[in-house]
């Protein structure tokens, strides 16, 4: 099978080859091409050394835009509007650091360069003519949909502990099975996780959460014990150990009411995650939505002897906030995911409610000050619908129940988009009203009153109706002032 490559990549490889060097596209781009996907970027590997790469670049008019990676033999080139990393063939050894090589040296062959990589599917190359070079049967593993390491799995993970999280992520992205040696090797290298930085671990987790088969990668994360480990966080010249996701470990095997659930809590979570829209906030909300189930003070037993978890939404929201803050997510992200977890049961409880009840919920949310604008609140409700439909689809609910929930969700979103949250959501601006109301204090008060009346459904959010209401107020105020003056004579 032959592959066409972008012109700027062929120019790069062609220039190096013409100068007497070997050069190939390597890594993820090869994997993606074989999977029929468009690579996000292309990396080139060559037996030329950095100084030789720069000479070839200058001879061919390529701009050298970065030499920051030169210690690792990497030169960043710009060809036209495109950039490409060109790396010298290299090998490496690892020391105490769980991710960064302790020593890097140049090597002379492509096979040695590819042999240092993590997984067979990432250890292939393409030459100038589009031919595949595959020393470790990565192509076969792609066809068989299985993830294997290059060589000994324990050694690969011992070298670089981040590869264990990458294994979970690739399984989530590709939906592959994994070699049993991978799971065993992860368990034997769990102590190495403490050497990883929180930033790198969080990045891998986020990529996994947004993956097409996130449930498969999350299953390995928990089954292998990775979720229960700690990583390190450095700030202000201090370092602390941060638990990753140990709270997920306790969900395994936690029973649920069989009238509504066919899975335990963890397998229900994975089933719900398989229905995610693959966005970051929805994915995290699904993973954490039942976190408090089975916890002391939440778990109970009903009259039929079935488990109950009243209040798990509220308690789960508190746990979610603590976890995401611990993992140093941004404040807006923490607030949004926490809100989704807190409200996931409210959605289900309102499906059969009257429109007035739903409207009251939306109005209350608009006035709570959680969201700044209508668009922001409506997007949150849209995400909540996604979370709750995924949740419901992972229960014993019948198809018609899911359809009813979807219809309710559409109605809820429409209501949310129609509900103003801030005075700037009104279809009239303060600037327009200054023609009627001259005093700034009166204008601010009027805008707030208009907002409340629209939220209460007493006024339509339409320019003509809003201006008419302001004119009426202005006339009433003017008459009151006139009457007061007349009374004074």
What pLDDT digit, counting tens, does each position of 222-277 carry? 999 999 999 999 988 899 999 999 999 999 999 999 999 999 999 999 999 999 99
Residue 402: both structure tokens together = 């899911």
Q: What is the mean pLDDT of residues 436-441?
A: 74
Closest C-alpha to 219, from 159, 189, 162, 176: 176
Q: How does residue 479 score in pLDDT terms, banded at 50, 70 and 90?
A: low
Domains, in order of start, for the chain:
1-144 (3.30.460.10), 152-244 (1.10.110.30), 264-421 (no CATH), 428-488 (no CATH)
Looking at the DSSP bridge assignments, the partners of residue 85 are 43, 76
Rounded to whole angstroms, how far apart are CA atoms 346 and 357?
Answer: 11
> Model-level pTM?
0.92
Rounded to whole angstroms, how far apart are CA atoms 383 and 349?
Answer: 17
Rounded to whole angstroms, how far apart are CA atoms 339 and 337?
Answer: 5
Give the CA dihedral 421, 424, 425, 427, nearest 10 degrees.
150
Q: What is the pLDDT of residue 96?
A: 57
Helix (H, G, I), strand (E, B) or coil at 46: strand
* Cβ atoms of 447 and 358 closer than 8 Å: no
Residue whose tokens read 């009433």: 476
Q: What percent of the chain shows pLDDT beyond 70?
A: 93
Q: What is the mean pLDDT of residues 94-100?
A: 57
Q: Which residue has the higher pLDDT, 69 or 447?
A: 447
Rounded to whole angstroms, how far apart are CA atoms 316 and 321?
Answer: 9
Q: What is the pLDDT of residue 304?
A: 94
In total, the chain counts a number of residues equal to 489
* Cβ atoms of 336 and 383 closer than 8 Å: yes
Where does residue 422 fall: left (phi above 0), alpha (psi -120 to 50 degrees), or beta otherwise? beta
* Cβ atoms of 74 and 92 closer than 8 Å: no
Rounded to whole angstroms, how far apart are CA atoms 370 and 375?
Answer: 13
- Taking the chain, what is the end-to-end CA distance rounded to the nearest angstrom? 101
16-50 pLDDT per residue, tens: 999 999 999 999 999 999 999 999 899 999 999 99
Q: What is the pLDDT of residue 94?
A: 61
Rounded to whole angstroms, how far apart are CA atoms 389 and 416?
Answer: 17
Residue whose tokens read 């690579």: 39
Burial class of residue 3, CB neighbours in 10 A (0-12, 13-18, 19+): middle
Residue 66 has pLDDT above 90, yes or no: no
Task: Give Cβ neighbours of residue 357 (< 8 Å, ≥ 6 apart).
Answer: 350
């Amino acid at each position: 099978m032959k592959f066409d490559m972008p012109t700027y990549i062929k120019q790069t490889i062609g220039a190096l080859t013409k100068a007497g060097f070997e050069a190939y596209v390597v890594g993820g781009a090869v994997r993606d091409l074989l999977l029929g996907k468009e690579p996000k970027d292309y990396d080139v590997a060559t037996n030329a050394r950095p100084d030789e790469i720069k000479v070839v670049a200058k001879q061919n008019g390529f701009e050298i835009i970065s030499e920051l990676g030169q210690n690792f033999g990497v030169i960043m080139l710009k060809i036209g509007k495109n950039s490409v990393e060109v790396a010298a063939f290299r090998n490496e050894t690892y020391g105490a650091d769980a991710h960064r090589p302790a020593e890097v040296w140049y090597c002379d062959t492509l096979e040695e360069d590819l042999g240092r990589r993590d997984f067979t599917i990432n250890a292939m190359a393409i030459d100038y003519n589009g031919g595949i070079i595959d020393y470790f049967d990565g192509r076969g593993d792609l066809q068989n949909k299985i993830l294997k390491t290059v060589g000994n799995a324990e050694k690969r993970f011992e070298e670089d502990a981040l590869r264990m999280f990458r294994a979970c992520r690739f399984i989530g992205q590709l939906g592959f099975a994994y070699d049993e040696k991978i799971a065993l090797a992860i368990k034997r290298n769990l102590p190495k996780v403490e050497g990883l930085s929180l930033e790198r671990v969080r990045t891998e987790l986020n990529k996994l959460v947004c993956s097409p088969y996130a449930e498969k990668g999350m299953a390995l994360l928990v089954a292998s014990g990775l979720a229960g480990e700690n990583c390190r966080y450095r700030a202000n010249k201090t370092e602390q150990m941060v638990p990753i996701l140990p709270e997920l470990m306790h969900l395994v095997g936690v029973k649920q009411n069989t009238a509504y659930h066919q899975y335990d809590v963890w397998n229900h979570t994975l089933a719900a995650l398989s229905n995610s829209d693959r966005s970051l906030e929805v994915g995290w909300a699904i993973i954490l939505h039942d976190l408090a189930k089975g916890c002391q003070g939440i778990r109970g037993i009903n009259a039929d002897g079935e488990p109950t978890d009243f209040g798990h939404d509220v308690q789960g929201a508190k746990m979610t906030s603590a976890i995401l803050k611990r993992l140093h997510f941004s404040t807006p992200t923490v607030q949004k995911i926490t809100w989704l977890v807190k409200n996931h049961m409210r959605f289900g409880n309102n499906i059969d409610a009257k429109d007035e009840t739903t409207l009251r919920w939306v109005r209350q949310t608009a006035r709570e000050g959680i969201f700044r604008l209508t668009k922001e609140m409506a997007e949150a409700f849209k995400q909540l619908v996604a979370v709750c439909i995924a949740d419901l689809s992972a229960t014993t609910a019948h198809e018609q129940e899911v359809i009813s929930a979807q219809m309710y969700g559409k109605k809820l979103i429409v209501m949310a988009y129609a509900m103003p949250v801030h005075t700037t959501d009104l279809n009239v601006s303060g600037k327009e009203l200054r023609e009627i109301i001259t005093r700034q204090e009166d204008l601010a008060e009027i805008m707030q009153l208009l907002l409340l009346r629209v939220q209460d459904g007493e006024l339509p959010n339409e320019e003509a109706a809003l201006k008419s209401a302001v004119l009426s107020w202005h006339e009433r105020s003017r008459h009151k002032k006139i009457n007061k003056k007349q009374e004074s004579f």
